[in-house]
Amino acid sequence: MAAAAAGGGAGWRVAPGRAPALMLAAAAAALGFLRISALDVKTPEELFVENGTEARLPCTFSSSEVISSLASISWSFQPEGATTPISFFYYSQGNAFPTKDTPLKNRISWTGDLNKKDASVSIANVQFRDNGTYFCDVKNPPDIVVKPGEMRLRVVQRVIVSAVDVKTPEELFVENGTEARLPCTFSSSEVISCATSVSWSVQPEGATTPISFFYYSQGNAYLRKDTPFKNRISWTGDLNKKDASVSIANVQFQDNGTYFCDVKNPPDIVFMPVEIRLRVVQRGTSPH
């Protein structure tokens, strides 16, 4: 025991190979920087947004520390084909600082809430050039994120889904020499206004493209006179009843074909006109 005491610490035995690790840990503890970040940032891996709409870039985080005035958010963007990201937004102490010399100029807004650990931003009027990878970096000292969250923004073509629903029968049998009423009704989420219009066209049998022959707007009917229907078309609908029907007087065999009813009630428009197949039969032989 005396020998051990005389040798100071010489009596403590350290397992081979652990001395360097213990020395590093002791040094780090003495300097006060041995700390692993408890800050976790989450973003979706991929986000699809239609062009011309608003894109909210979601970014949330968790931290073992209380959110303080030192907390800050940084967003950067690496456009497709680029090799380095560009910083475009910084948020600190309740103030947003968007960068103005980027393609996102005047289109970025803060939509997060640090008290709710939300670091999201939004891009207005998204364009195809906004495609790329976005990075969300959060700092809440002494917690700092080791790796920013990242997401791939994919801007796709905007698809207008019509809120106008137009209906016609698929097929209509009419005897030659009689009057054929082409029924067309519609529903719309919008109020019928002076901007509402109805268009009718026909694709005769054997033809490859339709011919417009009738247009109705603001209470007026406009008939195209250089068609086989000259002076035989009349408006028999009622927009207030959401009826866009027309009639053909003295139907002839040459009137056989496919008829298209197109209704527009801005901002609602029909995505694709509906069609009805007119079959003119010999008088006295109609199946209906």
Location of structure tokens 């609908």: 237
Given this model, what pLDDT does residue 37 score? 54
Given this model, what pLDDT does residue 65 score? 87
Question: Which tens digit of pLDDT belongs to each residue from 120-131?
Answer: 999 999 999 999
Given this model, what pLDDT does residue 12 score? 39
| HSE toward the beta carbon, residue 141, CA cutoff 13 A | 5
Mean pLDDT: which of 13-17, 113-117, 270-274, 282-286 is highest?
Answer: 113-117
Check residues 170 and 3 and name the one with the higher pLDDT. 170
Band (pLDDT 50/70/90 cuts) for residue 268 is confident
Check residues 21 and 46 and name the one with the higher pLDDT. 46
Backbone angles phi, psi at 255, to 5 degrees: -85, -5
**This model's pTM is above 0.85:** no
Band (pLDDT 50/70/90 cuts) for residue 58 is very high
Given this model, what pLDDT does residue 288 score? 54
Question: Which tens digit of pLDDT belongs to each residue from 75-107?
Answer: 999 999 899 999 999 999 999 999 888 888 889
DSSP-assigned states of every residue in 136-155: EEEEETTEE-SS-EEEEEEE
Question: Which tens digit of pLDDT belongs to each residue from 74-83?
Answer: 999 999 989 9
- Tokens standing for residue 267: 């901002």
Location of structure tokens 């002494």: 142
Given this model, what pLDDT does residue 23 score? 46
CA-CA distance, 64 to 35, in Å (whole number)? 12
User: Cα–Cα distances in Å, from 190 out to 65, 84, 194, 235, 268?
Assistant: 51, 47, 12, 22, 7
